[in-house]
Structure 1
């Protein structure tokens, strides 16, 4: 029992220290504007049960990103709405991140907004179309 107490105490200290981000890196979501038109702006709004991160405008070739930690209770989920076009006439709402019952550290998801839809990319730059744009 003493060993368990020491382990919990050490973990608590490292989470509270400045080096915690190296030991337990935050998860990250990226939203990249990859439209073909240079004047096309991507609007991103993400929400979890606890946070509304607000509305962010992303110019072409730029990225909006944020970092977060998973919940101890396994319920972290971010639902995001992406919009573009005149008067935001095209949009899609989807679950950009959902925790899978265990706590993850350093998970990265890169979402690319292209003319024909939203793509998920990986470290090897493979594109997988996940969602098409819906006209309002």
Structure 2
């Protein structure tokens, strides 16, 4: 009889542990889903803000849609980057894009006709621009 009681306690404890683990995993999965949804929304908001900044600071040369066909592009001796060209743009790191936006083309070995915007744009705004530029390619 003592063996049955011990066996029952063992099974009961195993069931309790399994139920607790299941609850933990369900909770963890829910938190992960919430985090991913929030991150996706944050990216969308950043890209949306980036689009506004792009219209102000970039579209004159790079065009409204990023195709390097802005009104000022025709008068430049060097063609601006086509931000819709995924073959090129997807190889560039976010750091590279932040540097060229903040410091200008000459800082990364590109044309000095690409100005640096660090005096006009704060770091979060530059990140918003990068998010938007990424959405074009």
More strand by share: 1
- Give the structure with higher Rg (CA): 2
Greater helix share, structure number: 2
Instruction: Please confirm whether the aligned pair reaches a TM-score higher than 0.5, indicating the same fold.
Output: no
TM-score by length of 1: 0.30
